[in-house]
Every structure is written in structure tokens, then in C-alpha cells.
Structure 1
Amino acid sequence: MRTIFILYLFTLSAVSFAQERSVNVNGNNYHVFVKGFENRAANAPAIIFENGMGVDLGNWKKILDQVSSFAPVFAYDRAGIGKTDKVFKMPTTKFVAENLHDILKSLKIAPPYILVGHSLGGVYIRSFAGFYPNEISGLVFIDPADFTETKNDWNAIFRTMGIPEKKIDEMLYNRLYQQSTGIDSTNFGPWSERQVLNDLRKTDFSEISKLPLPNVPVYFLVGGKFEVPPAQRSKDYDQEAFFHIKNSSNMERWKKLMYSSGKGGMLIYLTNAGHYIHWDDPRAVINSIKLLVESLKE
């Protein structure tokens, strides 16, 4: 009878672990999704997903189940996003990294981790990896906000396009320094995340560049499809030309980042996928993560 009871508890625990749930960490309720941990082997990496700006974990629904078939997965809503409580603190890279670390610890999801970040999530996983480098097995950036970019990099694209310096200065000012004042408490999560990214750009991401890069494989998946509708495009410059030049510029810096890791990596440019690659081409993302997982077994 005792053996049966123990087996029943194990089964119940495994089933309850593979679902969406709420976990209270640091006095706030975080909405999380966990799956596949009941069969996790010793030292096998867990796949940790970090969403883009203002986006909830449903953003990963096209790939979570398939990835969980070969590795345990964890996804969550950051503070003020989706079903997670609002936390009226700015989501700086340090704040988000420490919160995520505490959430993983509370769920007993031990390292090593493969971090997968989309858009702003790429900025956050680069920071997490810098704060906890010994806990990381790999990094997968999905069309990330470019944390290697400087203001001069941005301006250089416009110079290549022949935009006058006065106009370049005006556009840079409008991008970084002309913003609404006051806190939007209704949408504090998305609002505050945008402010954090804006502040990082003002300093050329200095607080990230000084963090160590773990000696792990680094993968980049880049969307090459220009998606801005004609009616919404800039009247000041050819936005589609800017998009393609910027992608090329970004990838040159990202290749240097991959080489600097010591473990190499992979860069995939997907011409038929836009910013949300995991929606436009989920198979490419799933296969890339699987390739990384398999490479760590060698």
C-alpha cells in the first residue's frame, strides 16, 4: 500500500508540474508555464524562455510543447505583463534577472539553463547570463533588440543612406529623448519596459557590455522580412532600405559576439520570417534549440 501511495504522489506531482500556474515570489504572483521536468536527467539543461516587450507567455504557444518533447521548458509573464501582478518598480536588467532567478529557485528548477529570448527578451537573457554566467549552457537570441548597438552605429546607417547630419541629430533626439512624462500605471509593465530599453540605448547599453559573456554556444535567428505597412512608414527616409542595412550591421556585431564566446554558435537569416520568427517559422526555432541541446551532449 505504501509503494502504491508513493507512486500516486509522484504521478500527481508530475502532472501538476506540467501546466500553467501561479507562483508567489518576493511578495508578487508570477504566471508561469512548466513542462517536461519530471523526466529531466541529471545536468540536462532546462530551456528558459524570456518574452518580448509587453508580451505574455502565450507568445510561445507554437513551440513550447514540441520543445518540451526533448527538453524541459519554463516560460513566464514578467511583472505587469499577462497574468502576473503589477510591480511598480522599473524592470531594469538587474531587477528582471534577480526576479527570474528567484522564480526558478522557488520552483526548484536548477541550472544549467539554455536561455531563449525574443526581442527585448534578448536584452534580458544577455543580462541574466552576465549576472549568473556559471549557470548557463547556451544562449538563443530570436530577433533581439540589439544590445551591442551604439548611438553612432544607429547614426552611421543614416549616413550611409545620405541623410543630412542635422536630420540625423533630430531623429536621434526624437527616438531617445522625446518621450511622455509621468508613469502610465494602467500599463506599467509595457510602459516601463519601453523606458528601460530607451534608457539602455542612451548609454549604448553600457551596463550590459560590462557584464561577462559565458563561455557557451550562442545562436542568433534573424527575421529578414520587412513588415511595416506603407501607410505607417517614415516620411523622412526609406524605412525598408534602413531595415536591411540595419540587419546587416547588427549581424556583423553579433558574429563577433559569437566568436568571443569561445564555443562558437550559429546565425540564421530567415528571409520569409518577420520579427516574430517563432510564429512565422516555428520549425526553425524548434530545430535550432534542439540542435543546441544535442550539441551539448557531445
Structure 2
Amino acid sequence: MRTMVGGVATYRFGDGGARVLYLPGAGLVGLDFLNLTKLSGAAHLLYDRGGTGWSAPVPLPRSAAAVASELRQVAGDGEHFLVGHSMGAVYARRFAQLFPESVAGMLLLDPGHEDLFAHLPPEAAALNDQMKPDPAQLPDLTAEQRAAAKEAWAKILGSWPSSVRDELADHHVEHWRTGLLEAANLESEVYGELRKGGPLPDVPVIVLSAGAGNPAWQGFGSPELIQRALDGIRELHAGIAKSFTRGRHRVVEGATHNFMHIEQPDTVRDALCELIADAT
């Protein structure tokens, strides 16, 4: 199942006409999107960015341009539909800036946004700062925490084949710091790259917002502040969609930021089908 391409772990499914690339959010890896590859009539490419998953180690964090160039080498020639989640959606837009000829359309799942903290109330920036621990300062997981984390991941990935689920759950427990390391330059560098990176191709785009937001916020701010932040994020998502001639924005009720594609897979797959149909 796993193939190494220049040190990058890739996973290919299906042999249909539309080619679909999946860009995981920070902390997730290619196989976390395995359930979406059930969509027939498409060739699906899951991959682990350098320094994540089963790909070769590289220093983290990385520039968005480096991530985009890596993906271009892995994807090869031709047009692709990009499915980007969270930070992966930011990378997808950077890829589209650098390689517009390679992009047929984009499905963005609760994407990050370069103007996030200029748009949200100042209190939201303080909330964000509280939620950014230094990975080097965090203690290792205890045996009890490791067992609980593995059980939680096994439940999240309950519909995955057991051989994949067990390996993937173990990986997430062992490498839980990776997402924090990868996202360390999101606000200081990556957003700036996107802001100054030039135009995007005018391709079909669907932006899906997580209706339930990020449950991790609950312990850091009042319900009122969290709702204001959630409303602001949805406004930014709508703005991304409006910047494309064939852009659409929808809120997926009940879906959380990290696991929209697992909690509401039919909604995500239907949006991907719609995107492919719109481009053909």
C-alpha cells in the first residue's frame, strides 16, 4: 500500500479519470483520509508531508513553498483536485499560486486563513496564544495517557481496516508533537507567504466550515467569545469562496475542525463529486 517517492510516503487508490490529492492538516497524515477514497471514478493520492507520518525526517517547521514543491514532485504532471484540511488547505492555496496549471479545483475543509487575527476580536488572539504550547516544554505522555490516547484514536478510526487502524493509532500516540512542530511557523511565516504569493487560478472551489468549531477551544474562552470567533472564521471562509467565480461556501453542522471528514464523510464526498462535475 505504501510507496516511497523521493523520501515521501504515498498511498494510491482507484484508477478513475479525476486525480485527487489530499493535504492533511497539521497533526494528521495521509491515511487519516483513507475513508474518502471510497469515492469511485477517481484516482486518489494520499501522502505524508516530509517530516510527518512515514515520510523521511526533515526539519520542522517548513515553508509553504517547500511543501508545495515537494507535492508537485510527488503528484507529477496534469491537473489535480486538491482536498486540503486546516493547515493543509493553506498549503493547497500556496500550491495553486505556484503551480496553477496543476490545479483543476479545490475542496477546502475548515481552512486556515492568513487574515485570521486581523479579522477576529482582539480577545481571540489572546485565546490563540493560550492554546499554543511549546512542544519542547511538554512532558512525555504517561503510560495511562498513552493507553487512553490509543483507545481514543482507535475509536476515531473505527471504520478503518484493523491493520491500518492499529498502525495509525500507534503512530499518532508516538508522534503527537509533530503537528505542533509543523504548525509553529503558520502565523509567523506561512500566512505571509500566502498573502504575498500572487493570484490563484480561477477554478471551482468549495469551502466547508466545521459547524461545531474546535472543541479544544472550550476550556480557554467564554461561550460568547468562542461564538464570535467561530462567526468570524465562517465570514473568512465565505470570503475565500467569493474570491472565485465558481466558489461556494457551506457550514457542515455538527462537524468539528479536526475530524469533519470522519464525522461527515458523505457530505465531504458529495462536495468532492460536485467539484469534479463542475470542472468537467
- TM-score computed with the length of structure 2 as normaliser: 0.75
User: How far did residue 97 of structure 1 move?
Assistant: 0.5
Q: Is the alpha carbon distance of 1:229 and 1:217 closer, same or farther for their aligned partners in structure 2, counting shifts above 3 Å? A: closer
Q: How does 1:133-212 map to 2 (within 5 A)?
A: 133-147=100-114, 149-154=115-120, 157-158=121-122, 171=126, 174=129, 180=134, 189-200=178-189, 205-211=191-197, 212=199
**1:23-50 deviation per Cα after TM superposition (whole angstroms, max 9, x unaligned):** 241xx3x22111223x54xxxx310100
**Larger relative contact order (Cα-Cα within 8 Å, sequence gap ≥ 6):** 2
Q: Find the counterpart in structure 2 of residue 283 from structure 1.
A: 266
**1:230-285 deviation per Cα after TM superposition (whole angstroms, max 9, x unaligned):** 9x522567443234322343234224323xxx3x1221111221112111110011
Q: Find the counterpart in structure 1 of residue 255 from structure 2.
A: 273
Q: Find the counterpart in structure 2 of residue 220 from structure 1.
A: 207
Quick check: 1:80–1:188 contact (8 Å CA) kept in 2?
no
Distance 1:268 1:181 in 2: 34
Moved over 6 A (4+): 181-184
Distance 2:176 2:62 in 1: 13
1:246 matches 2:232: yes
1:52 matches 2:62: no
Which stretch of the first structure deviates more once superposed, 92-101 or 219-228? 219-228
Quick check: 2:80–2:102 contact (8 Å CA) kept in 1?
yes
Q: Find the counterpart in structure 2 of residue 126 from structure 1.
A: 93
Name the amino acid aligned to 2:192: S
Quick check: 2:207–2:249 contact (8 Å CA) kept in 1?
yes
Q: Secondary structure at the match of 1:72?
A: strand
User: How far did residue 187 of structure 1 move?
Assistant: 6.8
Distance 1:227 1:172 in 2: 13
Q: Find the counterpart in structure 1 of residue 167 from structure 2.
A: none
Distance 2:11 2:72 in 1: 15
Distance 2:48 2:56 in 1: 9
Quick check: 2:209–2:234 contact (8 Å CA) kept in 1?
no
Identity of aligned residues (%): 21
Quick check: 2:242–2:248 contact (8 Å CA) kept in 1?
no
User: How far did residue 55 of structure 1 move?
Assistant: 0.8
User: How far did residue 181 of structure 1 move?
Assistant: 8.8
**1:33-78 deviation per Cα after TM superposition (whole angstroms, max 9, x unaligned):** 11223x54xxxx310100010211121122112x2x1211101011
1:102 matches 2:73: yes
User: How far did residue 227 of structure 1 move?
Assistant: 5.0
Distance 1:189 1:227 in 2: 19
User: How far did residue 84 of structure 1 move?
Assistant: 1.5
Quick check: 1:233–1:239 contact (8 Å CA) kept in 2?
no
| Unmatched segments (≥5 aa) in structure 2 | 139-174
Figure out how many residues of one structure are paired with residues of the other and give that number: 242
Q: Secondary structure at the match of 2:22?
A: strand
Q: Is the alpha carbon distance of 1:151 and 1:175 closer, same or farther for their aligned partners in structure 2, counting shifts above 3 Å? A: farther
Q: Find the counterpart in structure 1 of residue 279 from structure 2.
A: 296
Cα-Cα RMSD: 2.9
User: How far did residue 179 of structure 1 move?
Assistant: 6.4
User: How far did residue 88 of structure 1 move?
Assistant: 1.9
